[in-house]
Structure 1
């Protein structure tokens, strides 16, 4: 019931808050951008994993059974035999002081890791979206922290109360930091395919960090390294293309889907984590609430995006609306097929595959619609030829 309530309230806060956000206030920002913070937090997460392994090796003789029984399966695949970690463990003084590396440090770092990952994606889409998303940092931090705390309480350990207190502290620190971060200034047309490649690659890397570090599975790094290397290469190439390519003025169909997708990212920010846990962790009621919330966010994004794009489009809006709806249906069907085709694993992995295919197919379908429209509007007709 508590998670269901969080899903409903977070969705309402996202829908209302997104409409109230406006342009940036023009005040100078002194802290690094969201992407830089993401790199720093990720580095701290892995440093904590190394120190945690040292703590387990030296203090508990490599045995995690004292805590593993309180958590689901899939945790604590340690890299105890790694020669570098073994050397550090052998020479580390006062390993007893590393006890907070078990759950406590992660409790503080998990919120900034997820928030700054989301804001980095927003920054890539453009300053307009980033400015508005940054203004939702407080409700997002509250909704995400309450969700994390509910999961903590459901999976109670001897450290749960400490973790909740630490998460509340992180909830206060992160939004203040977000409001002080450097923001982009120049608004340019977004290349949807380049953005999708960037966001997809980053999402994959986030899942790698989730598996290898946030679940204390440093022993999985070797297996995850090839996929992570490919994702990192794709990310670098996509960001270089985003810098050097000048996106063309989009046609009506691409403009419609790009604007709708911008609204979708913004509206999804606050309820994102509650919806995710409602689908995979909550009761049947929470699952229904999460599905309804996802549909509500999608419908609102499509409505707001199409209305905004249609204001810039001439011609029969009903026809355009029908064609774009058809493109969305085709993309959604392709995404559903991709989601079902991915073998069972982390829910986020399957969802990532589905979303990536849906965005790709929808973008190609909208590009085809614009190409047909340009052919029809061409001054040289087939009869003239």
Structure 2
């Protein structure tokens, strides 16, 4: 950058780049990444979100959060950056509304869900690496992220190819109620976490970690309750009580195993808390998926759609 400034015909013009890149591009980068993950898991949900007022609420929530942090870390550029963030908030919504999410549907079995989890973890690492270097003006950190970014890029490409091929299979065994709950819970969580996500994230560093954890657990609890209610209503009526007991016991086993795996992820040393959260989430989904699939296979309880 020093070399570029020394050889640029009018180096003063480069000043517009300083402390402006995050103001313009942080919001669209974050929102597009989130909606991409939603589309991988539940294309119908992605289509509903991009065509509804939720997209504007998401932009407003993120823009206000970014603005408050910008003001708390006050610089001489703060007022200008707030204006740029407001402009970015409006333009981002207008641009994302033009998206036409595509996809055939939610994962149908454990292999498809694992491909989704691998894709999400890889994309999450790439976003965090980009944020930690380019968007935070810490270009000296680029080198330390290159090996991980290469691995994440390979995993992302491979998992998306695998997801496409798995989706092309003609026959897939019906998913059990446990697996149906897991995918439904993830879909509900993505929908409910959409608007408060950034506020909860910044509460970790600029507010109370306990409050952030409570807010995150509230979203998880609401998503879990919605998924349980949804799947219970689709259990076959004959023998519903017996089926429900087996289904719920399997969920408890999967939840405990997933929580233990997530605890290992949280213990991994990392510069940023997001990296540990990413590891924890990936290990939870991996473990819960494997346990749920095994439990469903051992004694299948299939939830049937309500006509």
Asked if these proteins are the same fold (TM beyond 0.5), I'd say yes
Say which SS state the counterpart of residue 175 (structure 2) adopts: coil
Distance in 1 (CA, whole Å) between partners of 2:106 and 2:213 is 33
Query: Aligned equivalents of 1:188 and 1:295: distance in 2?
Result: 24
Correspondent of 1:128 among 44, 49, 57: 44
TM, length-normalised to structure 2: 0.88
| Structure 2 residue 120 is matched with structure 1 residue 204 | no
Pairing 1:245–2:166 present: yes
Large movers: runs of 4+ above 6 Å: none
- The offset of 1:226, in angstroms, is 1.0
Match of 1:151 in 2: 69
TM-aligned CA distance change 1:331 to 1:188, over 3 Å: closer
Post-superposition Cα deviations, 1:303-346, rounded to whole Å, max 9, x if no partner, equal: 11122222333342233123213311220222022212x11411
Residues 132 and 266 of structure 1 are in contact (CA less than 8 Å); yes or no, is this contact kept in structure 2? Answer: no
Q: Deviations over 1:287-307 (max 9, x none)?
A: 333222211111111111122
| Aligned-partner Cα distance in 2 for 1:122–1:198 | 12
Matches of 2:227 and 2:197, distance apart in 1 = 19
Structure 1 spans left out of the alignment, 5+ residues:
1-52, 58-85, 378-385
With structure 1 as the length reference, what TM-score do the two structures score?
Answer: 0.71
In structure 2, the partner of 1:275 is 200
Change in Cα spacing, 1:217 to 1:162, as seen in structure 2 (3 Å) is: same
**Larger Rg: 1 or 2?**
1
Residue 319 of structure 1 is matched in structure 2 by 246
1:336 aligns with 2:254: no
Q: Which residue of 2 aligns with 1:109?
A: 25
Aligned 1:1-385 pairs, distance under 5 A:
53=1, 57=2, 86=3, 88-134=4-50, 135=52, 136-184=54-102, 186-190=104-108, 191-246=112-167, 248=172, 249-282=174-207, 284=208, 287-314=209-236, 315=240, 316-340=243-267, 342-374=268-300
Distance 1:188 1:291 in 2: 28
Unaligned residue ranges in structure 2 (runs of 5+)? 303-307
Alignment partners' CA distance in 2, 1:228 and 1:189: 26
Equivalent residue of 1:245, what SS? Answer: helix
Greater relative CO (CA pairs within 8 A, separation 6+): 1
